[in-house]
Amino acid sequence: MKKTLWIIGSIVVGLFLAATIFYIVRKQQAVTQPVHRDSQAILSIAIDDLLLDNWKQLIRQSDTRRPSEDSSSRRAWREIFASGLHIPARVYFFSLEDKPATLFSIQRITNHRKWHAFLRRHFSDSILRNDGSFTAMNQHMALYSDEEHVVIALSLKKDAHATVAKKIGQERHTWRPVSDWSNLPYAFNRAHAAYWLTDDRFFVHANATDGNIHILGNWQLDTEVPSPSTVRQVDTGDYALSFRSVLPLKQTPLLPTFLATFSTPSSDSLMASYQNYVDLQVRP
């Protein structure tokens, strides 16, 4: 009996050590992921840590989902993991100074057969090319891949900058591992998600556990914060999402860009109209 318990205990300890080593190695490999040397901003999302820290929440959600919703979600995850791309422990995106509304990511291809099969399953054969596969998926997404890597471009605006993605993919001398950025904030590679302007003017990081998101950061403004002349009184309990800011929209360029994708006014018009106050409410 003692021998059996000893064997079972040894197996459990061995599996725990193997899982721990695997987790640590994946985290160390993630920071070798390349970004552009001229990145204006870098976004990181910790896939492994999000799953590990929220596995109970994920199980509860799967229990409350309808079968059709659960099966579609599982199919989507299976497709991603079977795409032939390396799925790192932490995914990094970056933006360039002249393309602030577009996020780029450089990922490694581990299985070319699976990668090309994935593209053909989800996208028209007419946009695939046998030479370096320069591909424009739609107005908000573009891909460029060679034999080893794929450059993914995601844009809020109706221009995913496919030509820029191709240029990034072809100019490998402009790539720089994330670990080479010596001035990265301490929490950048420890939070579940983090966004950092490389000139250190802005940094925000967030952690999500048990259905709650905790956000911290710092922000260097170009101007003094003005006093709003009129502030709308809103019962935030009636809304699924409520956001209020007393900062000029020029200090938050991504916000007017995001709003312009769902409204008639352009981002420039919004920035000119709302100098010192804006609120946003979304009903469920």
Asked whether the CA dihedral 279, 194, 86, 169 is positive or negative, the reply is positive
- Through-space distance between the first and last CA atoms of the chain, rounded to whole angstroms: 58
Phi, psi of 257 (to 5 degrees): -65, -45
Please give the Cα distance from 237 to 56 (Å, whole number): 27
Residues recorded for the chain: 284
Please give the Cα distance from 128 to 163 (Å, whole number): 15
Instruction: Check residue 126 and give its pLDDT.
Output: 46
Instruction: Check residue 261 and give its pLDDT.
Output: 74
Contact 150, 107 (CB under 8 A): yes
Residues of the chain with pLDDT under 70: 1-2, 55-73, 123-138, 159-160, 226-231, 234-237, 275, 284
Instruction: Check residue 45 and give its pLDDT.
Output: 94
Please give the Cα distance from 84 to 113 (Å, whole number): 7
Instruction: Check residue 40 and give its pLDDT.
Output: 93
User: Which amino acid belongs to residue 11?
Assistant: I
Instruction: Check residue 137 and give its pLDDT.
Output: 64
Q: Where are the alpha helices (DSSP H) in the chain?
A: 2-30, 47-53, 55-64, 67-81, 112-122, 162-170, 254-260, 267-273
Instruction: Check residue 171 and give its pLDDT.
Output: 92
In what helix (H) or strand (E) does residue 103 lie, and over which residues does it extend?
strand 99-108
Instruction: Check residue 212 and give its pLDDT.
Output: 81
Instruction: Check residue 161 and give its pLDDT.
Output: 77
